[in-house]
Amino acid sequence: KRRSWSWQQYLNEQKAEAAPPTLFTQEQSFPSKRTGFKVGMKLEGIDPLHPSMFCVLTVAEVIGCRLRLHIDGYSECYDFWVNADSADIKPAGWCKEHNHKLHPPKGQSETEFDWQDHLQSSGYHAAPPSLFICRSTDCEFQVGMKLEAVDKKNPGLVCVASVADVIDNRFLVHFDNWDDTYDYWCDSSSPYIHPVGWCEEQGRPLTAPQGHPSPENFVWEDYLQETGSTAAPSLAFTLKAPHGFQLNHRLEAVDRRNPMLIR
């Protein structure tokens, strides 16, 4: 008896890959959409006031698909809301696995913090990794690359900036010699970032790094040399975030001429 048609067999025969389910983003309709996150679950995530910092978090409240997150060991006044599909949250253990610094709960040292102990002593559980959205890890920007970026807190300024961190398809813009409170996460399609040389080309002023000996005479070439860094390649700046689909990915699609059929 012939075996019925199967995706797995077909993909093997065609030496093709299934388009990853994560590429089919669901629309989240707030507030009716439910989320699997529950009050008390613990996780890791970006502190919105210090975007360069990953902190130990607890879900404090859930409404629809929105979560109020509490930073362990700190006052409730630092609690913040995210959508459950936020790119800013990661499962417990993510930082260690991806070589990122995890800011421990207040009062604990970085070296002594241990997730197992923390969960055990608090009696809470880690949010299951399946609740977090998998994301494309395509990013042409690398830590240390230089660029010109708008300071979102002073939007009239385009400034000398660096890629300070890369996670999935996003990167952290940091302004040279300023503190991290000006930092922000963006992807390659952000309208706030430009390649080295953009200001000159546009005849606009470029704000030099803080403390630069002669900010009026800032020259990229010299600065790159002094700092031993490279400019982010201009081709890395895109119009639209890359979608992640690749040539030859196989998928199921409605036949438009016969919309009852999914082939």
Residues lying near ligand MLY in the complex (CB under 6 A) are found at 151, 154, 157, 159, 175, 178, 182, 207
Nearer to ligand MLY, 94 or 184 (CB): 184
162 and 146 in contact (C-beta within 8 Å)?
Answer: yes
The length of the chain in residues reads 263
State the minimum distance, in angstroms, from the CB of residue 182 to ligand MLY. Answer: 4
Nearer to ligand MLY, 21 or 213 (CB): 213
Which conformational region is residue 83 in: left (phi greater than 0), alpha (psi within -120 to 50 degrees), or beta? beta
Nearer to ligand MLY, 59 or 160 (CB): 160
> What gap in Å lies between CA 57 and CA 42, rounded to an integer?
6
State the minimum distance, in angstroms, from the CB of residue 159 to ligand MLY. Answer: 4
State the minimum distance, in angstroms, from the CB of residue 205 to ligand MLY. Answer: 12
State the minimum distance, in angstroms, from the CB of residue 71 to ligand MLY. Answer: 24
> What gap in Å lies between CA 148 and CA 166, rounded to an integer?
17
Nearer to ligand MLY, 116 or 210 (CB): 210
Q: Which residues of 236-252 are buried (b: 16+ CB within 10 A; e: fewer)?
A: bbeeeeeebeeeeeeee
Nearer to ligand MLY, 57 or 159 (CB): 159
> What gap in Å lies between CA 261 and CA 263, rounded to an integer?
6
Nearer to ligand MLY, 142 or 154 (CB): 154
118 and 42 in contact (C-beta within 8 Å)?
Answer: yes
163 and 173 in contact (C-beta within 8 Å)?
Answer: yes
Nearer to ligand MLY, 67 or 149 (CB): 149
State the minimum distance, in angstroms, from the CB of residue 180 to ligand MLY. Answer: 10
State the minimum distance, in angstroms, from the CB of residue 181 to ligand MLY. Answer: 9
Measure Cα distances from 177 to 5, 76, 159, 231 in Å: 60, 31, 11, 17
State the minimum distance, in angstroms, from the CB of residue 22 to ligand MLY. Answer: 34
Backbone angles phi, psi at 79, to 5 degrees: -55, 150
Question: Which candidate, 70, 64, 42, places its Cα nearest to that of 127?
Answer: 42
DSSP-based three-state secondary structure for 61: strand
